[in-house]
């Protein structure tokens, strides 16, 4: 056992798009995914636990033990809406190897359900707080790039860390198209404004009918969980990760 995957239901979907929303810089993707799940009443149908997650449990105020986990939700589009798969969770894997395996498992599930397109979300570290965070994109194929640019995003120039970058790369090897959408964020706290920018564009593109006026609720939920677990801000850790660990990558 390395990853344990549970699939509780096999939804029948029409070319679903996979949206990635794991924790990361500014928790932008995480907030956006949580809001989507709640707004669309998306249904959790798969859980993944990886041996590369933390080896502990956490007990919250009510005595309920929580565990590091990834979940996949589906949403059957209503009317013009696109069908969705949403990757949500409370951690990324602790090792490079674990990250690759987690992504591989997610793509196995997505591929089997007919997914041919991936959108990964995230925050882009930006020193100054801005009124309206800028959106940046990168894509693994020209068509996706045009699509992302047409939505108002600028071309990204830099690294896309973790699952947001890996899913695109490993998806491409399976013939899946995809792009990454990052919103500027100071990255020091769960950033509802950045998440809203990202979601605004995604909803427009996928014709999702989601009320975006109260993203602060999902951000607050994320913040509360973070604080009750005593993690504080993830800024230090992310600083460490911003420095590429590569050797000879050209």
Residues 211-240 that bind a copy of itself (CB under 8 A): 222, 225-226, 229-231, 234, 237
Interface residue with a copy of itself among 101, 147, 191, 197 (CB under 8 A) is: 101
Q: Which two tokens stand for residue 123?
A: 């925050």
Q: State how far the Cα of 99 lies from the Cα of 166, in Å rounded to an integer.
A: 8
250 near a copy of itself (CB under 8 A):
yes
72 near a copy of itself (CB under 8 A):
no
Among residues 14 and 96, whose Cβ is nearest to a copy of itself?
A: 96
143 near a copy of itself (CB under 8 A):
no
Interface residue with a copy of itself among 38, 51, 233, 235 (CB under 8 A) is: 51
24 CB-contact burial (10 Å; exposed 0-12 / middle 13-18 / buried 19+):
buried
Interface residue with a copy of itself among 12, 64, 128, 211 (CB under 8 A) is: 64
Instruction: Give the SS3 label for residue 223.
Output: helix
62 near a copy of itself (CB under 8 A):
yes
Total binding residues toward a copy of itself, as defined by CB under 8 A: 84
Question: Which residues are registered as beta bridge partners of 75?
Answer: 84
Instruction: Give the SS3 label for residue 199.
Output: helix
149 near a copy of itself (CB under 8 A):
yes
Among residues 55 and 131, whose Cβ is nearest to a copy of itself?
A: 55
Q: State how far the Cα of 128 lies from the Cα of 134, in Å rounded to an integer.
A: 12
Q: State how far the Cα of 106 lies from the Cα of 33, in Å rounded to an integer.
A: 15
216 CB-contact burial (10 Å; exposed 0-12 / middle 13-18 / buried 19+):
middle
Taking the complex as a whole, how short is the minimal distance between the CB of residue 78 and a copy of itself, in angstroms?
Answer: 29
Instruction: Give the SS3 label for residue 166.
Output: helix
Among residues 13 and 181, whose Cβ is nearest to a copy of itself?
A: 181
104 near a copy of itself (CB under 8 A):
yes
Among residues 6 and 209, whose Cβ is nearest to a copy of itself?
A: 6
Interface residues for a copy of itself in 159-218 (CB under 8 A)? 159-166, 168-170, 172-173, 179-180
Burial readout 189-206 (b: 16 or more C-beta within 10 A, e: otherwise): bbbbbbbbbbbbbbbebb
Please say whether the beta carbons of 71 and 91 come within 8 A: no
Q: Which stretch binds a copy of itself (CB under 8 A): 9-17, 64-72, 196-204, 208-216?
A: 64-72
Among residues 74 and 179, whose Cβ is nearest to a copy of itself?
A: 179
Q: In sequence order, what are the residues at sequence separation of 6 or more whose Cβ sits closer than 8 angstroms to the Cβ of residue 79?
A: 207, 209
Interface residue with a copy of itself among 21, 23, 186, 187 (CB under 8 A) is: 23
């Amino acid at each position: 056992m390395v990853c344990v995957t549970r699939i509780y239901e096999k939804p029948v979907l029409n070319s679903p798009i996979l949206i990635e929303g794991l924790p990361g810089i500014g928790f932008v993707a995480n907030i956006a995914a949580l809001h989507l799940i709640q707004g669309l009443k998306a249904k959790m149908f798969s859980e993944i636990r990886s041996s590369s997650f933390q080896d502990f449990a956490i007990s919250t105020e009510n005595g309920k033990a929580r565990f590091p986990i990834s979940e996949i939700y589906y949403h059957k589009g209503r009317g013009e809406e696109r069908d969705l798969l949403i990757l949500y969770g409370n951690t990324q894997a602790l090792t490079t190897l674990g990250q690759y395996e987690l992504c591989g498992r997610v793509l196995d599930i997505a591929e089997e359900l007919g997914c041919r397109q991936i959108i990964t979300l995230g925050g882009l570290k930006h020193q100054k707080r801005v009124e309206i965070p800028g959106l940046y994109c990168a894509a693994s194929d020209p068509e996706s790039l045009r699509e992302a640019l047409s939505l108002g995003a600028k071309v990204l120039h830099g690294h896309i860390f973790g699952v947001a970058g890996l899913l695109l790369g490993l998806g491409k090897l399976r013939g899946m198209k995809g792009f990454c959408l990052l919103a500027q964020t100071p990255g020091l706290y769960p950033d509802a404004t950045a998440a809203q920018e990202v979601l605004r564009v995604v909803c427009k593109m996928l014709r999702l009918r989601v009320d975006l006026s109260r993203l602060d609720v999902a951000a607050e939920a994320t913040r509360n969980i973070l604080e009750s677990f005593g993690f504080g801000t993830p800024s230090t850790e992310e600083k460490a990760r911003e420095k590429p660990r590569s050797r000879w990558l050209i």
